[in-house]
Amino acid sequence: MDRTNTAYSEISIQVSLSGFSFNGRPWLSAEHVFTTPELQRRYDKVEVSLLTPKVTLVPDAFVDPVSARKALAQVASLRESDFVETIQIPSLGATLVYSNSLDESLSKVLAQTVLPVSGEPVRVLPEMYYLLRELDNISEYNKILASWHGGWLHLVIAQGKSLCLANVFEAPDFTTAEYFLFLAMKRLQLNPEVSTAHFRTPLDPESEMSLYRYFKAVVQL
């Protein structure tokens, strides 16, 4: 395919139990999948993430099919029927172990509806994967990345090349999400006044202004 005069196109879709967002747009309910024009075309790059709380990061040397499920069961509530998957994070020398078994079908529908130019459905990956991947794109020494929606805060904090935290916290409202964010920073002795908070999920104006009271800057990725 000759793309010499064709703009490169990509779409990043995030899915929670209560809806979906794409390219930083406000959250939409499932009924908008087949009526939103942006979802009815093909893209050079398509990413679909699910905000699943069932994730854990394990050093590569300790990962195999049996130990992976056991490791995830130690930090998340797993049912016998839950399907456990893995994906490597080469930059960290670690493997993300996760389960997308949340009794939802929206992520699968979107992955089969919004297709890349190849026509092949993309793999639905956990939101935590994209937060960890984004670390390499943050130039600041204190790297704070988060996603919040559907009652869960997904939080990654690193200093330089050292990963300090990668966890999911139950946060039914944004005030609770802020509590866990600041608690983590306090325990890691990080000063928000000299740090930037990066959010992959869209923030409403009130939430964004709340963060601005504490952080040097707030960036929506």
Residue 110 belongs to a domain:
no
Residue 166 lies in a domain: yes
Structural domain includes residue 27: no
Provide the domain limits for residue 192.
128-221
Whole-number Cα distances in Å, 6 to 40, 42, 46:
18, 13, 17
Residue 202 lies in a domain: yes
Nearest to 126 by CA among 91, 178, 167, 159: 167
> What pLDDT, on the 0 to 100 scale, is given for residue 3?
40
For residue 16, tell me if it sits in a domain.
Answer: no
- Residue 197 maps to a domain: yes
In a domain, 220, yes or no: yes
Full pLDDT tens readout for the chain, 221 residues: 334 446 899 999 999 999 999 999 999 999 999 999 999 999 999 999 999 999 999 999 888 877 899 999 999 999 999 999 999 999 999 999 999 999 999 999 999 999 999 999 999 999 999 999 999 999 999 999 999 999 999 999 999 999 999 999 999 999 999 999 999 999 999 999 999 999 999 999 999 999 999 999 999 99
Sheet hosting strand 19-22, strand order edge to edge: 19-22, 10-16, 45-50, 124-126
Say what the pTM is. Answer: 0.93
Cα-to-chain-centroid distance, residue 34:
23
CATH number assigned to the domain comprising residue 171: 3.30.420.260
User: 201 lies in a domain?
Assistant: yes
**Number of folded domains that form the chain:** 1
